[in-house]
Structure 1
Amino acid sequence: MACRTVCQLLQRRLASSAASVRLSAAEERGRRSAVFSREQARQRSLYPRTEKIEVTLQIPGLQGTLLVMNKGLSTPHSCARHLTEWYVTSSALALVDGKPWSLHQPLTQSCSLSLLAFKDTDPLLVNQAYWRSCAALLGQVLQDAFKEDFSVELLRLPEVLVTSGAFCCDVVLDPQLDAWNPSEESLRSLTRGAQQLIHRDLPWEPLEVAPPVALEVFSHSRCKQEEVEEKSAQSPKGTVILYRCGDHVLLSGGPLVARTGLCSQYEVTAIHRLGEGKWGLHRRAQGLSLPLQQQVRAQICRKCFSQCMKHLLDVFECQ
């Protein structure tokens, strides 16, 4: 009994010491990504032998087509590669047995599969995933935008309706920046950062993990640790879904689209002060974007895209 008490005390001291060590933003991103890679490799090792599953396509023109794929390794994106190039480049999200599913999330059993694109008759699920993805991209840009001596704490992504007119990302900046108000040039710089990530066409890699893994990923963020505990308590399986884009790891309230390259015209339009909150001065960054498949339709207003964005924000203020 005494030994157990001593061990618990040592664990608490070690955890406290780890939390007190301040890592640079780059070091913290690298550490989180390394934990993600380690858990990803562990999960893949659970399928040492190739086991086949049957995937039945529920796609117009391919209804009932059967694909034989690899359990725990093949993804909806892998299935798309067995079809035409159009499905590879246009698919943003999948339905697996009727449930929304990331294109890069491995399939673990025989199932039915639909591939969803922005120009589908009912694009609601794709649009919701796109809005979350744009917000996640904005969070990544904000974390990369400031000098290493300034901390940036991403709060949970607010669930904002597509019809609200703007995707949003809540953030707490270093207290040294409490007096900072973003200029037009600052917003343009954030926009350029987002466009660079879009140009790199990075995948959003999903990974379903147990809470201890997620807590290790976010060991230096009290805010994210609370979010992990809440999401795992609400999950029927007691797990949470992490996403990685480049070396940036995040939590999301739902599936994201396949890759950053599906975003097209993207603009960061405003950063509002929400006032003092639990973690400091809360701010809300806002932006608007159009998906790649709707780029041609938007060409007519490319020169005044920024002005259109600002007008929309006046009409649809994000609450």
Structure 2
Amino acid sequence: MIFSVMASGTTCRLLQRRLSSTVATATATRPSMAELRGRRSEVFGREQARQRALYPRIEKIEVQLHGPGLDGTTLVMNKGLSTPLSCAKHLTEFHVTASAVAMVDGEQWSLHRPLTRSCSLSLHSFRDADPALVNQAYWRSCASLLGQVMETSFKDDFLVELLSAPELPVTSGAFCHDVVLDPQLDSWLPTEEALRSLSRGAQQLIHQNLVWEPLEVAPPVALEVFSHSRFKQEEVEKMAAESPQGNVTLYRCGDHVLLSAGPLVARTGLCNQYEVTAVHSLGSGPRGLQRRVQGLSLPLQLQAHHTVWRKLRARAEKQVGVPVAPEACPPPPDAPTPISDPTPTATPSV
């Protein structure tokens, strides 16, 4: 009987060792977040180079400008190479630094997206008489920046899966991005210091004045970019089905590649006041515990007094009224026990 118990104990220890070894091997072979970002950026760069090679000869197009003081102005630009920003550089410093998005033949257009035909063009900034178009692009860009912060701020051995960034009006009071953190962090409850650390990560990206590079691609390219995220692949398929051309638009900011349903502003430097205000639990789903990260920001051309900012921030802390994704279940009745706050890192790596 004693021998039997000892044998059983030995067997258990051997099984535990094998299991630990299997888990360690799986963790070692699992690509890190930095490796995933590198692969996505590499595919983006390869497709970008392929598309640029489609225009071996320089062909001229005419761009008719519209806007205050610009009506009747026509520029001769290069097909497939010149962008709305290229056109702005033929105007004034204000058009270069203040323009956020463009309209090309009535279609919303990124400042960095090449022009492929003769067209009409108008440049838009936060000083427009009707800034609705720019404000929505700005809110969308801030949500995209929030996703980038969440993916880069945690320790590299914690995987972060970015879900959707719900399209919210500016009047909602906050922009947001849904995420699933590594299962090891299921019981993590963010402290005020953690939120400040995430905000510092966003400020670093803003200070770098990174460009949001657009690239319209066929679905197979986007599926390759997001080959490690089944959620993003499903999002690609849905966007492609809803697009008249059957394509989707990717953006790259630094080495971070994302999907977007609409144009983003020209660069991160157009953001100014920016804070990550809250992290709300949406409950468990097939991919794990879903969370909604929220933030608040004002552009460089618009600033608020600190008393007004405090009121706006208090509003942005409350969970925004966005329909919960069908896969998300109601939060469990018993809140998880908080663990120590090892993440995000004090100085997020970008």
Counterpart code for 1:87 = H
Q: Distance in 2 between matches of 1:159 and 1:194?
A: 20
In the other structure, the counterpart of 2:283 is 275
With over 3 angstroms needed to count, the CA separation of the structure-2 counterparts of 1:304 and 1:236, relative to structure 1, is closer
Q: Is the 8 A contact 2:278 2:317 kept in 1?
A: no
Q: 2:50 aligns with which of 42, 47, 62?
A: 42
Q: Distance in 1 between matches of 2:321 and 2:277?
A: 12
In the other structure, the counterpart of 2:32 is 24
SS state at 2:43 partner: helix
Q: Is the 8 A contact 1:270 1:285 kept in 2?
A: yes
Counterpart code for 1:243 = Y
Q: Is the 8 A contact 1:134 1:167 kept in 2?
A: yes
SS state at 1:140 partner: helix
**Which is further off, 270-279 or 168-177?**
270-279
In the other structure, the counterpart of 2:313 is 310
Q: Is the 8 A contact 1:165 1:318 kept in 2?
A: no
With over 3 angstroms needed to count, the CA separation of the structure-2 counterparts of 1:21 and 1:39, relative to structure 1, is farther
SS state at 2:301 partner: helix
Structure 2 stretches lacking a partner, 5+ long: 1-27, 323-350
With over 3 angstroms needed to count, the CA separation of the structure-2 counterparts of 1:85 and 1:229, relative to structure 1, is same
1:81-96 aligned at under 5 Å gives the runs 81-96=89-104
Is structure 2 residue 145 aligned with structure 1 residue 137?
yes
Q: Distance in 1 between matches of 2:238 and 2:246?
A: 10
Identity %: 71
With over 3 angstroms needed to count, the CA separation of the structure-2 counterparts of 1:317 and 1:170, relative to structure 1, is closer
Q: Distance in 1 between matches of 2:317 and 2:34?
A: 36
Q: 2:71 aligns with which of 58, 63, 66?
A: 63
Q: Distance in 2 between matches of 1:287 and 1:315?
A: 10
Is structure 2 residue 211 aligned with structure 1 residue 203?
yes
Counterpart code for 1:240 = V
| TM-score (norm: length of structure 2) | 0.82
Q: Distance in 1 between matches of 2:49 and 2:111?
A: 19
1:168-317 aligned at under 5 Å gives the runs 168-295=176-303, 298=304, 300-301=305-306, 305=309, 307-313=310-316, 317=320
After the TM superposition, which segments of 4 or more aligned residues of structure 1 sit over 3 Å from their partners?
314-319
In the other structure, the counterpart of 1:122 is 130
- Would you say how many aligned residue pairs link Structure 1 and Structure 2? 295
SS state at 1:40 partner: helix
With over 3 angstroms needed to count, the CA separation of the structure-2 counterparts of 1:250 and 1:21, relative to structure 1, is farther
Q: Distance in 1 between matches of 2:261 and 2:162?
A: 14
Counterpart code for 2:316 = L
Is structure 2 residue 149 aligned with structure 1 residue 146?
no
Q: Deviations over 1:121-143 (max 9, x none)?
A: 11111100000000000000000
Is structure 2 residue 150 aligned with structure 1 residue 112?
no
Structure 1 stretches lacking a partner, 5+ long: 1-19
Q: Is the 8 A contact 1:204 1:243 kept in 2?
A: yes
Whichever structure has more helix as a proportion of its residues is 1
Q: Deviations over 1:47-77 (max 9, x none)?
A: 0000000000012111020000000000000
| TM-score (norm: length of structure 1) | 0.90
Q: Is the 8 A contact 1:269 1:309 kept in 2?
A: no
